[in-house]
């Protein structure tokens, strides 16, 4: 498992950890059933507080990506259809943000964008 | 036991100086750092916790013991480093180990020997002939060799070169990996505390100005740089503190209150403490 914290990111530290671990789980780098490092050893390694790593793991557990077993640690959980769907929706939203940035730059209207999408759909059909 | 250390309504007057610890706690299993200027009450706090001084009012509980000065059992479980440590300074580390094996019920001679070797200490050199750095390493080796569950350290890394500090921090970090271990540490070297601590308390003129979880503290504030003419673009209520230079002004603000045109810059613990002091500890 890799976690690199960025000094340049405006995101709170616990969130950076959540996003990086989540991404590795989604990409399959962290396979189902993998035992994650303890919150204490992760905290010491990254030189952050144990409260922060605990917060990150709690969030990942809330989102269903990991499961904590008392006295054993946290494991990568099996993912449900709901979660996979959410992941894809998140990806689509990210792409939409990029599209909006580009089209704002060009000054494209929503209609023009819509037409582009229609053409794409027709072209694929 | 949830709190390794708890001070309730503690007051100690020393001449014109008064230390007030209304509700100060150190949670078990955490590393808690105390920052404060010289004369702010750091050493007085340490002395009260170790039972070297008695408070005028209030209750102090250390590892669930409310009378640490009389409680030898609990003192056995506390490792400490304080300045002018009352160690017999004509002894060398090896002799100290022999003496201490009779003082501490859980003295671990093997661990002590290992640490002395790891620190590359001359075991035959009398303590008083050692450099400052070596003295601290001896004290730390002692503190880590009697199965202590609480370390109380008063400026353990001051006066040490960066490599030695890193070595000591690394050891303290390893010590704190065990959830049964707690560290209470005071220091001027904010960068050390920034690396090691879970919680930070700022003490100023005998009063606690803030106690916060370290990452949340550093996540909530940002620095913003502007010019003298740009200053009026900012809401004065949102400016917690400012440092005015000739060519630029640095502002301390809460992350959420920064206007979109400004570039938020992450702040170090040192800068934060300085700016908060400049701003009169407005939060």
| B255 CB within 8 Å of a chain A CB | yes
> What single string gives the DSSP state of each residue in A20-64?
HHHHHHHTTSS-TTPBPPPHHHHHHHHT--HHHHHHHHHHHHHTT
Nearest CA in chain A to B32: A49
Cα B144 versus chain centre, distance: 17
Is B283 domain-assigned? no
Residue A125 banded pLDDT, cuts 50, 70, 90: low
Per-residue model confidence as pLDDT tens digits over A24-69: 988 888 988 999 999 999 999 999 999 999 999 999 999 889 999 9
Per-residue model confidence as pLDDT tens digits over B232-251: 999 999 999 999 999 999 99
Please choose, from the candidates A44, A68, A88, the residue with its C-alpha nearest in 3D space to the C-alpha of residue B30.
Answer: A44
Is B182 domain-assigned? yes
In this structure, are A19 and A65 located in the same domain?
yes
Nearest CA in chain A to B33: A49
Question: Chains A, B: CB contacts under 8 A, how many?
Answer: 46
Per-residue model confidence as pLDDT tens digits over B21-55: 999 999 999 999 999 988 899 999 999 999 989 99
Percent of chain A at pLDDT above 90?
Answer: 67
pTM assigned to the model: 0.86
Per-residue model confidence as pLDDT tens digits over B103-140: 999 999 999 999 999 989 999 999 989 888 888 899 99
In this structure, are B163 and B192 located in the same domain?
yes
- The domain tally of chain B equals 2
Nearest CA in chain A to B222: A10
- The interface pTM score, or ipTM, of the predicted complex is 0.81
In this structure, are B112 and B82 located in the same domain?
yes
In this structure, are A70 and A85 located in the same domain?
no
Cβ atoms of B50 and B237 closer than 8 Å: no
Residue where a domain terminates, one of B179, B205, B231: B205
**Three-state DSSP state, B222:** strand
Taking the C-alpha atoms of residue A26 and residue A77, their distance in angstroms, rounded to an integer, is 11
Residue B88 banded pLDDT, cuts 50, 70, 90: confident
- The domain tally of chain A equals 2
In this structure, are B54 and B181 located in the same domain?
yes
* Structural domain span for residue B244: 217-278
Domain with A41 in it: what CATH number?
1.10.10.10
In this structure, are B69 and B194 located in the same domain?
yes
pLDDT given for residue B84 in this prediction: 64
* Structural domain span for residue A103: 81-124
In this structure, are B51 and B125 located in the same domain?
yes
Taking the C-alpha atoms of residue B193 and residue B35, their distance in angstroms, rounded to an integer, is 9
Residue A84 banded pLDDT, cuts 50, 70, 90: confident
A48/B214 CB distance under 8 A: yes
Percent of chain A at pLDDT above 70?
Answer: 97
A49/B199 CB distance under 8 A: yes
Answer whether residue A82 shows pLDDT above 80.
no
B198/A43 CB distance under 8 A: yes
Cβ atoms of B91 and B126 closer than 8 Å: yes
Give the mean pLDDT of chain B. Answer: 92
Per-residue model confidence as pLDDT tens digits over B149-168: 999 999 999 888 999 899 99
Residue where a domain terminates, one of B205, B228, B248: B205
Point out which residues pair with B151 in neighbouring strands: B79, B183
Residue A102 banded pLDDT, cuts 50, 70, 90: very high
- How many CB atoms are closer than 10 A to CB B238? 14
Chain A residues 24-63 within an 8 A CB cutoff of chain B = 40-41, 43-44, 47-52
In this structure, are A39 and A91 located in the same domain?
no
Residue where a domain terminates, one of A76, A98, A113: A76
In this structure, are B125 and B259 located in the same domain?
no
In this structure, are A59 and A24 located in the same domain?
yes
In this structure, are B101 and B26 located in the same domain?
yes
A40/B174 CB distance under 8 A: no
CA atoms within 13 A of residue A30's CA, in its CB half-sphere: 23
């Amino acid at each position: 498992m890799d976690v690199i914290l960025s000094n340049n990111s405006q995101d709170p530290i616990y969130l950076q950890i959540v996003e990086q671990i989540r991404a590795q789980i989604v990409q399959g780098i962290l396979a189902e059933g993998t035992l994650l490092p303890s919150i204490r050893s992760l905290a010491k390694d990254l030189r952050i507080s144990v409260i922060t790593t605990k917060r990150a793991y709690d969030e990942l557990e809330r989102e269903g990506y990991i499961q904590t077993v008392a006295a054993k640690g946290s494991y990568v959980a099996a993912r449900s259809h709901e979660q996979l769907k959410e992941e894809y929706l998140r990806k689509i939203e990210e792409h939409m943000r990029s599209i909006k940035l580009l089209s704002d730059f060009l000054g494209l209207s929503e209609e023009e964008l819509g037409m582009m999408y229609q053409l794409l759909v027709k072209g694929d059909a | 036991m949830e709190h390794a250390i708890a001070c309730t309504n503690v007051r100690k007057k020393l001449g014109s100086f008064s230390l007030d610890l209304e509700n100060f706690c150190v949670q078990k299993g955490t590393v808690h750092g105390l920052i404060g200027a010289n004369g702010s009450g750091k050493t007085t706090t340490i002395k009260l916790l170790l039972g070297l001084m008695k408070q005028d009012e209030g209750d102090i509980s250390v590892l669930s013991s409310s009378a640490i000065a009389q409680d030898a059992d609990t003192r056995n479980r506390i490792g400490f480093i304080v300045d002018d440590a009352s160690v017999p300074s004509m002894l060398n580390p090896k002799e100290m180990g022999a003496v201490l094996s009779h003082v501490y019920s859980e003295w671990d001679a093997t661990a002590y020997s290992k640490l002395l070797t790891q620190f590359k200490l001359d075991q035959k050199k009398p303590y008083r002939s050692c450099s400052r750095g070596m003295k601290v390493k001896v004290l730390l080796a002692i503190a880590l060799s009697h199965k202590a569950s609480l370390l109380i350290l008063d400026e353990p890394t001051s006066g040490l070169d960066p490599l030695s500090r890193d070595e000591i921090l690394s050891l303290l970090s390893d010590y704190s990996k065990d959830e049964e271990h707690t560290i209470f540490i005071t220091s001027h070297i904010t960068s050390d505390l920034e690396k090691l601590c879970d919680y930070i308390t700022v003490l100023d003129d005998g009063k606690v100005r803030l106690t916060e979880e370290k990452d949340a503290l550093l996540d909530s504030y940002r620095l913003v740089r502007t010019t003298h003419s740009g200053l009026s673009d900012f809401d004065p209520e949102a400016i917690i503190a400012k440092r005015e230079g000739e060519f630029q002004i640095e502002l301390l603000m809460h992350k959420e209150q920064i206007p979109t045109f400004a570039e938020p810059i992450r702040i170090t613990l040192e800068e934060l403490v300085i700016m908060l002091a400049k701003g009169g500890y407005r939060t």
